[in-house]
Amino acid sequence: MDRIEIDFERLCAYEGIKVAKIGDRHYRAEWVSMECPFCTGDDGNHLGYSKKSKVFTCWRCGRHTIGEVLASLLNRPKKEAVRYALENYPADPYAQPYQSKSSKRIDILDIPGSKTIPDIHRNYLINRRYDPDKLADMYDLRFTQEHESHPWRVIVPIWHDGKYVSYVGRDVTGKSSVRYLTCMPEKEVYDCKKCVWGLQRAIRRTAIVVEGVFDAWRIGDGGVATLGTGWRLEQAELIARRFDRSYILFDPEVIAQQRAKKLAETCSMYPGHKSFVLTVKGSSADDPDNMTEDEVKEIRKLIV
């Protein structure tokens, strides 16, 4: 891969990564400094990103590659983390979009796993208040085991333009450092981040737009997902052209709410579409997936 050039300051700001400010311990003007995720010891912003040389150095444990740091901060595999950073936070915002050498798409999606539900997956879904058999039938889910690619995950196919184009897998063991794992670009038919999950089951002209597929499952038909808060313009256009009205229901964190507001503003720019940021008053849920049945019923009234 060519030299990795990203706008790391912008990445930290948009991804909610805390960095040292003027007056903070270990602040340096020509560095972006933060707590080091690779070592332990006294508190402080020991990991620094040099704005000049574009490298990461921890004053305690030494040099780290950009791939290592991005994987840790973004909670993604190295290659996926680097690709995500290059696509969303290029050093030159006016540069041509980054394309990896393996970015050529395939024609038919190979979805890992089988339709048989192992006990570990069944128990995981039951514990999250879902009916495994109903979900598997409604969303054509697959389930992987130890010997398969993306082991021990619920595989959720992503539908776009009349066919499956990608998938996302959710770890069911609680042991993986990467909870959600998306299909690698070279194995996708179409970029999943240009898709909106759940469109094919939304039959009305109003949608509840959430971050992830589990959030959309909680809403039911009419709940659609941007597959993260880092939404793309293509997704906003799909929402605005498919629906007359949308309600953006992201997690309550500050960064997520800022992105929800921006998505609503972007969708509302399209003629004939109105979009609003939605919050659940009085809810103790940290994300839509954890809402109570009564809260879900109230939200579904917006769709009907």
Which pLDDT does position 282 carry in this prediction?
A: 60
Judging by beta carbons within 10 Å of its beta carbon (0-12, 13-18, 19+), is residue 281 exposed, middle or buried?
exposed
The phi-psi region of residue 222 (left if phi > 0; otherwise alpha if psi is between -120 and 50; otherwise beta) is left
On whether the pTM is more than 0.85, the answer is no
Q: What is the pLDDT of residues 84-99, one digit of tens each?
A: 888 878 776 554 444 4
Q: Cα dihedral sign for 109, 72, 224, 237?
A: negative
Task: Count CB neighbours of 96 within 10 A.
Answer: 7
Element (DSSP H or E) covering residue 275: strand 274-277
Give the residues of the chain that fall short of pLDDT 70. Answer: 1-3, 41-42, 92-104, 281-285
> If we measure between CA atoms, which residue out of 210, 207, 292, 280 comes closest to residue 242?
207
Domain boundaries, the chain: 8-88, 119-193, 199-303
For 199-303, CATH gives 3.40.1360.10
Looking at domain 8-88, what is its CATH homologous superfamily? Zinc finger, CHC2-typedomain (3.90.580.10)
Contact assessment for residue 187 and residue 104, using Cβ atoms and an 8 Å cutoff:
no
Which pLDDT does position 133 carry in this prediction?
A: 97
CATH class of domain segment(s) 119-193: alpha beta
Which pLDDT does position 2 carry in this prediction?
A: 46
